[in-house]
Structure 1
Amino acid sequence: MTGWDGIAWAGWSDHAEVLARLGAGADPEWCGAGRPLHHAAAYGSPQVVAELAARVADVDAREHGTTALWRAVLADRPDNARVLAAAGADPWRPQLGGWSPGRLALAGPVPDLFPRPAGGGAATGATTAEPVATELTPTERETVRSGRELVAALGEFPYEGTGLACVAGIDAAEAVRRLGGQPLDAEYLEEFLDDPYAYEMEEGLLIAGATTVPGGCVVTQPWGYTPSTPGAMARLTAGTFGYGLYANPKSGNQGSIVRDGTVEAWDLHPGGGPDSGDSADRVLDGYLYRRSAVAAACAFAGLRPADARAVTGPADRWFKLPDLDYWEG
């Protein structure tokens, strides 16, 4: 028993509750599902963060490769980040993909979150004598600019239950041709789109839309997963590449990377933030598109839709797919 049993996410903002648990012997280092300071950094209040930071042996202790300060930056909790820095956490300590919390913050909504060392450009990390970067490169700055633009263009919209294929370098007509799509009767299509869930699931899974966007096209199925399946992605990515996304209502966003018909990566979680083992580029993308799975899928394929129409409809072309086993690549 760690003394944290039953605490809800909101509990990490309740200073009185946290103080009472600590007074009763709760472990400030471990709560059974990770480090309390990490949870507080992401979900809690500055008062709780300060309380826990004063009680742990190492304010920069890591969980899954990152510190509590990293978690605060990732969660857009600048007040918590400032408390941790004041408690001795190192903003410039490299973590995932060589990124430090300080550099990551430069790509976020509060770029001046941490003061940079005198002399500019580099600092000496707490765990290494080697200089570490304290600025974004020109390429990274452009990635941040375009990423913010893409997220803003798409906006916020419901996409749970939607299947997507974001494919580079082909337009909607070519996507339909590659999938062997056939035109739909106009009256039937109008009735179907008015209430797709009134139809049998097997019927709806064979109806999709394709829309040309800058950089390529998006194949969408707002009521199903077919565009993201291995079979559909293999056909769509011949000679090119793409990102498949299914916003599974039961288990969350599921992603895959397919290049020239071959699955390169699967069981990805777009919109969930950077992962351990990510390259430096992937860490930045993961940060920019956290909580924006559709933007992450589009960005990977180099697509720049002007709005959410390619995802939600009306599509450039609605069509019927051949009745095949799309789980076969």
Structure 2
Amino acid sequence: MGFFDDLVFSAEEPCEGLREELFEEPAARGGEVVRLGPPDEDAARERPPLDWFAPAPVPQLAVAGGGPAAKVLLTGWSVWPDSVTLHLVVHRTVRGQSEGQSRQSGLRVGLLLGDGRRVTSLDADRDEYGTVLGPAADRAAAFPGRPTGLIPLDPGGMRDSLFRTDVDLYLTELPPPGETRLVVEWPDEDIPETSTPVDADALRAAAAHAVEVWPGLPTPGATGTRSLVFTRLGGPAAFLAPPMSGRERALLREREAARVRYVPRGDWAGMGYEDWGDAALIRARLDGGAPVDEQVWSGATPLHLAAERGDAEAVGLLLAHVTRVDAPDEEGHTALWHAVCKGDEDSVRALIRAGADVWTPQTGPWSPGRLLLTTPLAAVVADLPGAVALPDEELAAFRAADALIAAFDEEMWTEGLGVAFVRDLDADEVIRRLGAEPARCPEVPSEEAPFDEDEDDYDTSLRFVAVTDLPGSPGGCVITQDGYMPGDDAVLRAISADTTAYGLYFNPKGGTHGTLARDGRCVEHEEIGLSPEATDPAAHWHFRFWQAGPGVPYDALDLAYACAAAGLRVTDARRALDHTLPRRWVELPADLVR
């Protein structure tokens, strides 16, 4: 990358010129005198302290950059006690542009300092700066913050030539010791990036020779509310390149990231979730010497991550280099386990061909092969040595769970949704248990709901739930709300007398939380949908909470599990959760709302 590439953008617009303004209170206009006080810590903050010091000149004559019709000459430096002004002269043989010609860039100037920092005339975050003479409070209020980079200065005075322009750039500190270089570039004038050495030690030594014009000045007393402000709104002459906008800078970062993405490098830093499916990127990292057996995250090696998030091509690339195909992550899972959970047949076969252990349990009784036997990929491992068929009752539990998952398998919006399944009770009975009269709760279209979801506040909407019959064998009904009340203990206790109910809340802040109620008591609270541990109920395995990947119907798994926990067996639950269809609304009594 060039010195200025991340600071400039094509199709730059000329920047606005300088402007000076005088701000004063109306009552102070007239013949009031403003007296110069001694320099303070802000005297050289945004411009040279020329009111107090005569700088020490350090001549340096050199061609800093040249093109066919323009040259940039370095003529020297003005050194102040703690800062320095760079003097350039631009000579051109042609002035102006043809009408309609686009301006692609301006003159770019920068310093590479001895401590590795880069300061330029394009540095951003200098929206407006200036020097204030007057009460200290006025100064602090007017211009907070600190400018950065090389500040363009207006040399002022009459122009003696159409083909020569002075360019003065101000650095608010002395260059640190060490090698310093002046860098210029001007694409419009075919001036390439050119570097010129600078003697930073000579500049630092010259600072001691700057002359203080008014030593021992007394601090002037306050003279009213008048403040003199020199304001810089645009910067230097129009041919200097302005900084990029935020949008331009972001676009340039994207281009640079794309350029360097496939440059070989010897580590796995910066690899995002989807990057583990980019075989070309993984190959570039391997070519750069990235350690293939390194634990990248939570004990997971690149092979784990490619099996979990990538594809068979990425897995195959890594298998050619790994030394331990069965290395465990922090949870004791191998790459084959993750490939099984994702359901990627090609990755599973590649890992098995590479010698991956199929049958050793990794969580409770579950091994990668045992999980595969519950999926459509069972044939991949069914005839391998060590295979043991699953008991009929376990296969039946998986088939029953899959049937319920299919009943809910339709894309739906569940964020913030509350659901409660109630066994054996119809909608009329549930409405009565919620303290309302069924006759007063007719089925109405969604647009006739008793509250306006767009206008009413959230607390108002929590007072209402929708109750819908859910046929099945056995069936029951379902309570829904865009809120947490269907899963609230008080509601579940009210509706579960002599039966079973399960409430579920898809918390938008994270996690899906369930509550089982039986015979008017809440008997279990749990977070569901997480990858099961050895101590979790068998149903967490049957409803496939262990599955992962973009094609997994996570919401359907959770809803089917909750439905089964309440004891319902249904074949089509989509109508109960379709918010666009008519529903029966119930206003909850005050003792159930919190």
Q: The TM-score by the shorter chain falls in which range?
A: 0.7 to 0.9
| Residue range with higher mean Cα deviation, 200-209 or 272-281 | 272-281
Instruction: Map residues 214-293 of structure 1 onto 2, 5 A cutoff.
Output: 214=472, 215-270=474-529, 272-287=530-545, 291=554, 292=556, 293=558
The CA deviation at 1:188 is 9.7
Structure 1: state its 5+ residue gaps: 124-132
Letter in 2 for 1:311: L
Maintained 8 Å contact 1:205/1:226:
yes
TM-score by length of 2: 0.47
What CA deviation, in whole Å up to 9, does each residue of 1:252-296 have, x standing for no partner?
A: 4332333444444434133x4434422444322234886122122
The answer as to whether partners of 1:70 and 1:101 remain within 8 angstroms in 2 is yes
Q: Distance in 1 between matches of 2:445 and 2:574?
A: 24
List gaps (5 residues or longer) in structure 2.
1-265
Higher relative contact order (CA 8 A, sep 6+): 1
2:282 corresponds in structure 1 to 18
CA distance in 1, matches of 2:420, 2:390: 31
Q: Deviation at 1:14?
A: 1.4
Out of 203, 211, 225, the residue aligned to residue 460 of structure 2 is: 203
The answer to which structure has the higher helix fraction is: 1
The answer to whether the Cα contact below 8 Å between 1:229 and 1:244 also exists between their aligned partners in 2 is yes
Aligned mates of 2:436, 2:380 — CA distance in 1: 51
Q: For 2:384 and 2:342, how far apart are their aligned partners in 1?
A: 24
Query: Is 2:153 the partner of 1:153?
Result: no
Decide which of 435, 439, 444 is 1:180's aligned counterpart: 435
Distance change >3 Å, CA 188–CA 51, structure 1 → 2: closer
Provide the rounded CA distance (Å) in 2 between the counterparts of 1:275 and 1:290. Answer: 20
The answer to which of 205-214 and 18-27 deviates more is: 18-27
- Conserved in 2, the CA contact under 8 Å of 1:207 and 1:320? yes
Q: Is the 8 A contact 2:292 2:322 kept in 1?
A: no
> 5 Å matches for 1:1-329?
3-22=267-286, 23-26=288-291, 28-35=293-300, 36-53=302-319, 54-117=321-384, 123=386, 134-160=388-414, 161-182=416-437, 183-184=440-441, 190-192=447-449, 196-213=453-470, 214=472, 215-270=474-529, 272-287=530-545, 291=554, 292=556, 293-305=558-570, 306-313=572-579, 314=581, 317-324=584-591, 326=593
Range that drifts further, 142-151 or 212-221? 212-221
Deviates more, 1:297-306 or 1:211-220: 211-220
Asked if structure 1 preserves the Cα contact closer than 8 Å seen for 2:446 and 2:582, the reply is: no
Aligned AA (1:95): Q
- The superposition leaves residues 120-164 of structure 1 with CA deviations (integer Å, 9 ceiling, x where unpaired) of xxx2xxxxxxxxx62222222222322222222223131322100
Mark the CA change 1:196 to 1:184 in structure 2 (over 3 Å): closer, same or farther: farther
Find the residue that maps to 2:381 and give its secondary structure.
coil
Q: CA, structure 1 residues 116+185, in 2 after alignment: closer, same or farther (shift >3 Å)?
A: closer
What secondary structure, in the 3-state scheme, does the structure 2 residue paired with 1:164 have? Answer: strand
Match for residue 129 of structure 1?
A: none
CA contact (8 A) 1:12 1:48 kept: yes
3-state SS, counterpart of residue 116 of structure 1: coil
Q: Is the 8 A contact 1:275 1:283 kept in 2?
A: no
The count of residues paired between Structure 1 and Structure 2 equals 312
Which sits farther off after the overlay, 218-227 or 54-63?
A: 54-63
1:224-244, Cα deviation, whole Å (9 max, x unpaired): 221011221222233443322
Identity of aligned residues (%): 34
CA contact (8 A) 1:243 1:257 kept: yes
8 Å CA contact 1:34, 1:63 repeated in 2: yes
Give the superposition deviation at 1:51: 3.4
Name the aligned partner's letter for residue 245 of structure 1.
L
Closer, same or farther in 2 for the Cα pair 1:317/1:191, shift >3 Å?
Answer: closer
Distance in structure 2 (CA, Å) of the matches to 1:200 and 1:139: 49
Which ranges of 4 or more aligned residues in structure 1 deviate by more than 6 Å?
A: 185-189
Equivalent-residue separation in structure 2 for 1:193 and 1:229 (angstroms): 21
Given that 2:442 and 2:585 are in contact with CA atoms closer than 8 Å, whether structure 1 keeps it comes out as no
C-alpha separation between the residues in 2 aligned to 1:17 and 1:113?
A: 30
Q: Indicate the larger mover: 235-244 or 65-74.
A: 235-244
TM-score by length of 1: 0.81
Structure holding more strand per residue: 2
